[in-house]
Amino acid sequence: MRNMKKFAAGAAAMLMALSVTACGDSSSSGNSGSDTSSAETTTTVEKKLDESQQQVIDDIANDSKPEDRKLENTNIKWFSFWDINPTSSEDKEIGVDLALFKSKYNGTIEYISTTWEKKFDDLAAAIMADDAPDFCGADDMDMFPKGAIKEMIEPIDDYVDFNSDLWKDIKSASDQFMYKGKHYVGISRVDPAYIWIYNKTVLEELGIEDPAEMYADGNWNWETMSEMCKNFVDPENDKYALDAWYYENALTESTGVPLVGMKDGEIVNNIEDPKIAKVQEMMFELQKNNVVYPKHENGWNVRGGKDKWGTGLASGLTLFYPIGFWAIEDAPSVTAPFGDISKGEVMFVPVPCDKDSDAQYIPSRVHGFCICKKAKNPEGVAAWLDCTRYAEADPKAKEITINQLKNDYGWTDEMIEMRDKIYAMAAEHPVFEFAAGVNSDVSSITDEIIKKTMHPSDPASWTETVQANKKALDTLIQRAQEQVADKKS
56-60, 342-346, 402-406: least confident range: 56-60
The set of long-range contacts for 303-306, using a CB threshold of 8 Å and a minimum separation of 24, is: 303/240, 303/243, 304/337, 306/29, 306/33
339-343, 406-410, 470-474: least confident range: 406-410
Q: Does residue 402 have a pLDDT over 80?
A: yes
51 lies in the same domain as 14? yes
Average pLDDT over residues 394-418: 89
12 lies in the same domain as 156? yes
CB burial class (10 A; 0-12, 13-18, 19+) of residue 266? exposed
Q: Does residue 22 have a pLDDT over 80?
A: no
Q: Hey, what amino acid is at 269?
A: N
Return the higher-pLDDT residue of 113 and 169: 113
218 lies in the same domain as 282? yes
25-29, 383-387, 416-420: least confident range: 25-29
404 lies in the same domain as 475? no
pLDDT of residue 47: 59
d(CA 256, CA 262): 13
Mean pLDDT (the chain, rounded): 86
pLDDT in tens, 111-157: 999 998 999 999 999 999 999 999 999 998 999 888 998 899 999 99
Four-point Cα dihedral 126, 130, 136, 138, nearest 10: 90
Four-point Cα dihedral 305, 309, 312, 313, nearest 10: 180
348 lies in the same domain as 381? no
Return the higher-pLDDT residue of 241 and 31: 241
29-38, 265-274, 450-459: least confident range: 29-38
As a three-state string, the secondary structure of the chain is CHHHHHHHHHHHHHHHCCCCCCCCCCCCCCCCCCCCCCCCCCCCCCCCCCHHHHHHHHHHHHCCCCCCCCCCCCEEEEEECCCCCCCCCCCCCCCHHHHHHHHHHCCEEEEEECCCCCHHHHHHHHHHCCCCCCEEECCCCCCCCHHHHCCCEECCCCCCCCCCCCCHHHHHHHHHHEECCEECCEEEEEEECCEEEEEHHHHHHHCCCCHHHHHHCCCCEHHHHHHHHHHHCEHHHCEEEECCCCHHHHHHHCCCCCCEEEECCEEEECCCCHHHHHHHHHHHHHHHCCCECCHHHCCCCCCCCCCCCCCCCCCCCEEEEEECHHHCCCCHHHHHHHCCHHHCCEEEECCCECCCCCCCCEEEEEEEEEEECCCCCHHHHHHHHHHHHHHHHCHHHHHHHHHHHHHHCCCCHHHHHHHHHHHHHHHHCEEECCHHHHCHHHHHHHHHHHHHCCCCCCCCCHHHHHHHHHHHHHHHHHHHHHHHHHHHC
pLDDT of residue 283: 98
pLDDT of residue 397: 78
Q: Does residue 6 have a pLDDT over 60?
A: no
Contact residues for 64 (Cβ-Cβ < 8 A; gap 6+): none
274 lies in the same domain as 317? yes
Return the higher-pLDDT residue of 339 and 39: 339
pLDDT of residue 65: 63
Q: Does residue 41 have a pLDDT over 50?
A: no
pLDDT of residue 174: 87
d(CA 83, CA 2): 21
User: Cβ of 235: how many Cβ atoms within 10 Å?
Assistant: 11
Average pLDDT over residues 449-461: 95
Tell me the CB-side half-sphere exposure of residue 209, using CA atoms within 13 A: 15
Return the higher-pLDDT residue of 228 and 265: 228
d(CA 338, CA 198): 8
Report how many domains make up the chain.
2
20 lies in the same domain as 159? yes
CB burial class (10 A; 0-12, 13-18, 19+) of residue 6? buried
Dihedral angle sign, alpha carbons of residues 483, 484, 488, 489? negative
Q: Does residue 489 have a pLDDT over 60?
A: no
100 lies in the same domain as 88? yes
Instruction: Give the pTM.
Output: 0.76
The pLDDT-based confidence of 488 (bands split at 50, 70, 90) is low
pLDDT in tens, 350-363: 999 999 999 999 99
pLDDT in tens, 362-377: 999 999 999 999 999 9
20 lies in the same domain as 113? yes
pLDDT in tens, 275-321: 999 999 999 999 999 999 999 999 999 999 988 899 999 999 999 99
Distance from the Cα of residue 241 to its chain's centroid:
23
Percentage of the chain modeled with pLDDT above 70: 86
Query: Residue 251's closest CA among 139, 419, 363, 366?
Result: 363
- For residues 405 and 346, the answer to whether their CB atoms sit within 8 Å is no
204 lies in the same domain as 310? yes
Query: Residue 318's closest CA among 295, 285, 296?
Result: 295
d(CA 280, CA 355): 15
Task: Give the Cα-Cα-Cα angle 182, 184, 189 (nearest 5 degrees).
Answer: 120
- CATH number of the CATH domain containing 461: 3.40.190.10
What's the start-to-end Cα distance of the chain, in Å? 32
The pLDDT-based confidence of 178 (bands split at 50, 70, 90) is confident
Contact residues for 306 (Cβ-Cβ < 8 A; gap 6+): 29, 33
pLDDT in tens, 222-243: 999 999 999 999 999 999 999 9
pLDDT of residue 48: 66
pLDDT of residue 93: 57
Q: Does residue 171 have a pLDDT over 60?
A: yes
pLDDT in tens, 69-107: 889 999 999 999 988 887 644 444 567 889 899 999 999
Return the higher-pLDDT residue of 63 and 402: 402
42 lies in the same domain as 116? yes
Domain enclosing residue 30, as ranges: 2-193+365-432
235 lies in the same domain as 330? yes
